[in-house]
Structure 1
Amino acid sequence: MYFSDEDRDFEASALVEGAIEIMVDLEPDFPVAWVRHQLQKMAKDVEAALMSETNPHLRLEGLLRLFYREWGFCGDRHQYYAAENAYLDKVIERRKGIPVSLGAIMIYLAQHLELPVTGVAFPTQYILRVDWPNSEPQFINPFDGEFVSRQTLSAWLRGHKGPLAPWRESYLTTTSHTDVLARWLTVLKSALLREEQYADALRCSDLALSLRPGDPHEIRDRGYIYQQLECSHAAAMDYAYFIEQCPEDPAAELLKLQVKVLNANPQVLH
């Protein structure tokens, strides 16, 4: 069963708790108790290891050292787009993930240490923001635990959007849990599509739309999934919605041709 953003408040709890909820929606057998136990154990171990450190800057450095060096959490450089890097239980088990999954765990641990760490959905990847009193914010790449400068982030942006991409300070503002979870689902959906797990990808897409109702790009992607599942009529409807909402998008013209082909196919009932 999927819930809309109005049915539950993801902002009222830790980001990892929201992630657990969506994982249960996607996988009824998701090991909730085990994941929560592992998270609580890590939090207790972090608190015990850094109990005597009163300087918050040094506490953060200690957390990064413990998480990335001693425990060995890291970004999966060899299979970045594998679906298991987005499933929270697999990330904890393998100690490998992607920025959003690793970042969510890091924020959870930082909050237990009363450190001012939040998450930012930067255009290129999820990053962590640290807001010290009376200081400029710092930024951390949760993929490897390294601090990143504004210059580096600007270079990432240009590499992603082109050399003339304008810089916006809004790119560095803390992102709501709902938006992060929607982005998390988008990443997982893309991984599932690469692995041709279309039924699972469809569940991802439907859940993402429960968080962002009417999102034309998400509906376009769902149309592609329907097409792979040979649900021509449903695919055509989703493509038509995207064309109506985003007529200037370069993909719109190509999708118009797809709609004609799909509508010419006999309707398949599943």
Structure 2
Amino acid sequence: MHDRSGLPDWNALAGVDDASLPLLGTALLIARDEYPALDARRYDAVVDGHVAHLHNTVSAIEHSALKMQAINRHLFEELGYAGDHDEYYDPRNSYLNQVFERRLGNPISLALVQMEVSRRLGVPLDGVSFPGHFLVRLPVDDGVLVMDPFNRGRPLGVDELRERAQPHLGGDVPDDDALSTFLDPASHRTILMRVLRNLHGVYRDAQDWERATRCADRVLKLSPEDADALRDRGLGYLQIGHLAGALEDLSQYLSRHAHAADAGEVRTQLIAAGRGSARLH
């Protein structure tokens, strides 16, 4: 499933079970779409360098929360990884090679750095696909330690987590069960699809339709049945003038999701695209 560069092959990813889906490698594969000369081995070595620096310190610490504290101190204070508060929607914040180079990122890309370094040190850090900003979680003796990678790995208490989730729930405060669900570990596939959706949103808003369409296509490589990505790729194809692709994707979307909230709007665009296609022949 890997090409000569050591990165995964896009066409093989759909059938890979989550446990075998390489997180770092696939994140760098996403970045290679934008940076074709990217050398994945360079960034694997960067992670190994962070791990080598931390190994003796972390090995000497018994409690996992204190291990994590040492990792965060090195990444965020000594190395200077930080959340890009000034240019949050800069697409470079989603491309992992640029995060390693600039030491700036968004919540999910910084979480990827944290997770990769921590796991190589035997610290079982997971991602959390929390509403709003992506978080990370670490099992501890009395429960789960939840941290914010966008703000130097700062620990978050239950009250702050409820407050952060509330705007995404129509103003409702999540109860214990809902909050627990939000804090479930995110699968590798979920994390990578969220990276791509973030990029799709940035490029769509900038009306950069070629890149937006590419991101939707990559989501479908990871999850071929994803309805939103199928629609988004079809609408992107419309914008770049690939009418055959648009007709195929949007027809499939409506066939599978005839009662979707946006079905009427998509149907209107599909009809208009069909008329345009007819005029071209």
* Kept after mapping to 1: 8 A contact 2:200/2:212: yes
Which amino acid in the other structure matches residue 209 of structure 1? L
Moved more, 4-13 or 207-216: 4-13
- Aligned mate of 2:133, from 125, 137, 143: 125
**Partner of residue 183, structure 1:** 194
Secondary structure of 1:140's match? strand
Secondary structure of 2:147's match? strand
TM-score normalised by length of structure 2: 0.84
**Partner of residue 253, structure 1:** 264
- Aligned mate of 1:69, from 65, 71, 77: 77
1:61 CA displacement: 1.2
1:10 CA displacement: 5.1
Number of aligned residue pairs? 268
User: Does the alignment pair 1:192 with 2:200?
Assistant: no
Q: Among all aligned residue pairs of Structure 1 and Structure 2, give the percentage whose two residues are the same amino acid.
A: 24
Work out the CA distance in 1 between the residues paired with 2:154 and 2:97.
Answer: 24
Secondary structure of 1:30's match? coil
1:80 CA displacement: 1.3
Q: In the superposition, relative to structure 1, how do residues 14 and 121 fare at CA in structure 2: closer, same or farther (>3 Å)?
A: same
Q: Which runs of 5+ in 2 are unaligned?
A: 1-8
- Write the deviation string for residues 133-171 of structure 1: whole angstroms up to 9, x where unpaired: 3x1111111111111123322222221231237652322
Give RMSD over aligned pairs. Answer: 2.5
1:84 CA displacement: 0.6
Moved more, 162-171 or 199-208: 162-171
Work out the CA distance in 2 between the residues paired with 1:93 and 1:186.
Answer: 22
Work out the CA distance in 2 between the residues paired with 1:5 and 1:268.
Answer: 38
User: Does the alignment pair 1:262 with 2:269?
Assistant: no
Q: In the superposition, relative to structure 1, how do residues 14 and 206 fare at CA in structure 2: closer, same or farther (>3 Å)?
A: closer
Which amino acid in the other structure matches residue 209 of structure 2? Y
Work out the CA distance in 2 between the residues paired with 1:165 and 1:235.
Answer: 41
**Partner of residue 3, structure 2:** none
Work out the CA distance in 1 between the residues paired with 2:221 and 2:87.
Answer: 29
* Kept after mapping to 2: 8 A contact 1:20/1:88: yes
Q: Which runs of 5+ in 1 are unaligned?
A: none
